[in-house]
Amino acid sequence: MARAGMERWRGRLALVTGASGGIGAAVTRALVQQGLKVVGCARTVGNIEELAAECKSAGYPGTLIPYRCDLSNEEDILSMFSAVRSQHGGVDICINSAGLARPDTLLSGSTSGWKNMFNVNVLALSICTREAYQSMKERNVDDGHIININSMSGHRVPPNSATHFYSATKYTVTALTEGLRQELREAQTHIRATCISPGVVETQFAFRLHDKDPEKAAAIYEVMKCLKPEDVAEAVIYVLSSPPHVQIGDIQMRPTEQVV
């Protein structure tokens, strides 16, 4: 069902990173339901292709275009934006949903693990943001939106050494989003920037973080009624449907039962 405030986005193009699962897939589905053309990207596109088929068979008014992109590779990102420009015109909404955590502590973590988190959580997000803005600017799009899927770990440091570097990358996302908001104002544009910062969401996130201890990963989701990816997607729709004069800086959302 079309949501009030979403009418102006029908037929326009949104880029969603990390669209192969979890929050990214839920956001992608929600946007297609609202009639948008969505480029969903990830390193592997099989899941996105399945989602595109589901959306089509369900009769959703929008379209999902799967695109393979390794977000840790800048050339891949630039190639994707070039393809979007030549085939679809350009990006009106950019949703940076891709993110990852590795259990590399500050005292004994691997440099490769740190780099992996930084490349995806910070650099890829920044490159996609820059390219999305340039795409909007060159087409005189003055009402675009850039949404960063952040984390509550970007606002407090949990007492869990396995996620301290991850938390640092998410604090960076908090700073980047506010810096982006300021630069967009300086550029005298009405393009908006927003963070959405969820707490524990039931996805494959914990299983990838604790890939050597699946029981530990499962326990994270069993101690409380967690957020669902669809809850975060609902927040994205709320942000996009807000009136043009409303700037939503950050939505912090936790499971009701979450303590930290």
Give yes or no: 221 in active site.
no
Rounded distance between C-alpha atoms, residue 94 and residue 239, angstroms: 13
DSSP per-residue codes, the chain: -PPTT-GGGTT-EEEEESTTSHHHHHHHHHHHHTT-EEEEEES--HHHHHHHHHHHHHT-SSEEEEEE--TT-HHHHHHHHHHHHHHH---SEEEE---------TTT--HHHHHHHHIIIIIIHHHHHHHHHHHHHHTT--S-EEEEE--GGGTS--S-GGGHHHHHHHHHHHHHHHHHHHHHHHTT---EEEEEEES-B-SSHHHHHTTT-HHHHHHHHHSS--B-HHHHHHHHHHHHHS-TT----EEEE--TT---
Q: Phi/psi zone of residue 109: left (φ > 0), alpha (ψ -120 to 50 degrees), beta?
A: beta
- Select which of 67, 166, 171, 221 is catalytic: 166
The residues assigned a catalytic role are 166
